[in-house]
Amino acid sequence: MARVDLLEAHGQAIRAFGEAVHAVGDSAWGRRTPCTAWTVRDLVNHLVAEQLWAPSLLAGATLDDVGDRFDGDVLGEDPAGAWDAAADGAREAFLDDGVLERTVHLSYGLVPAREYGWQMTIDAAVHSWDLATALGLPSPVTEPLAERLIDVVRPWVDEWQGLGLFDPPVAVRRGAGSTARLVGLLGRRPR
């Protein structure tokens, strides 16, 4: 099986989250998610805000340059439309020539844009699983994508502990598929 590269993985994760967003029914926005502090609407708002930041950060903006313009509710009356617009903008920014060779200003300093891209991809994929779980749907994260993300995230898991990014890893059953192992690695209890 061919190894999934960053831009392919990013596209798959963005599509997976979009599929789940478009499956949210009108009555489901207040449902709880595996991210215990967040409802479905909170989770989607989080991912939309992250996507809105990407074009500015990839263009070299600092956190101060962006300021608080993406704080609060960024979904408005059309959450799925807000997702589509934000995801399209982020995707376009990541596909810009040479963008992955740049550095990006994040809260903890300058990081390679490639690392930022993997972080955004991991977050979109795991939250795709969270959203699908909250809606009672099958995971939209494919096994090859999950397998690739396990390889990427494994070295960061210990470093991320205590930062509030993810809960500590949980054990998964022997023989579990890649998606179950990925979400377990990032503190979720696979179904």
- Is the separation of the CB atoms in 30 and 41 below 8 Å? yes
- For residue 38, the Cα-to-chain-centroid distance in whole angstroms is 15
Domains annotated for the chain, with CATH where assigned, are 6-141 (1.20.120.450)
For residue 188, the model assigns a pLDDT of 83
Residue partners of 45: CB distance under 8 A and separation at least 6: 73, 74, 75, 79
Q: What is the DSSP string of 64-114?
A: HHHTTTT-S---TT-HHHHHHHHHHHHHHHHHSTTGGGSEEEETTEEEEHH
**3-class secondary structure, 60:** coil
Predicted TM-score of the model (pTM) = 0.91
Task: Read off the pLDDT of residues 138-152 as tens digits, 9 standing for 90 and up.
Answer: 999 999 999 999 998
* CA pseudo-torsion sign 132, 137, 140, 142: positive
Give the pLDDT confidence score for residue 59 in this predicted structure. 96
Low-confidence ranges of the chain (pLDDT < 70): 1-4, 160-166
Taking the C-alpha atoms of residue 181 and residue 149, their distance in angstroms, rounded to an integer, is: 10
| DSSP structural state of residue 32 | B
pLDDT above 90 coverage of the chain, percent: 72
What is residue 39's three-state secondary structure? strand
